[in-house]
């Protein structure tokens, strides 16, 4: 709930600043009308940057990944057996 309040506050602030710039003759009108587009492009670039940084810092944990995969496989087989589905042999890689 706190994140939505932060986002709404940020959007209201940005809208207020934008409308203030439109009312004042401080910046050329042609540039002021394009501010939402600039902001959207900037937000997209920031999002892509954060995804890239997250992927570069992604730790590799092969042991935990294998354990998780084995747990998921055994859990899925148990669920399917409960439902009466033939899961084949009990061979696990």
| Joined tokens for residue 6 | 């932060």
**Cβ 34 vs Cβ 16: under 8 Å:** no
| Mean pLDDT (the chain, rounded) | 80
Statement: residue 90 has pLDDT above 60? no
Amino acid 68: pLDDT: 73
Each residue's pLDDT tens digit, 30-57: 777 777 788 889 889 998 998 888 888 7
* 12-36 CB burial, b ≥16 within 10 A, e <16: eeeeeeeeebeeeeeeeeeebeeee
Classify 82 as helix, strand or coil. helix
Each residue's pLDDT tens digit, 5-16: 888 898 899 888
């Amino acid at each position: 709930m706190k994140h939505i309040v932060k986002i709404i506050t940020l959007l209201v602030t940005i809208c207020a600043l934008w409308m203030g710039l439109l009312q004042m003759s401080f910046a050329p009108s042609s540039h002021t009308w394009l501010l939402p587009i600039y902001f959207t492009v900037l937000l997209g670039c920031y999002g892509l940057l954060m995804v890239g940084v997250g992927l570069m810092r992604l730790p590799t944990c092969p042991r935990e990944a294998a354990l998780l995969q084995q747990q998921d496989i055994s859990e899925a087989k148990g669920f399917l057996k409960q439902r009466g589905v033939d899961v084949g042999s009990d061979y696990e890689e």
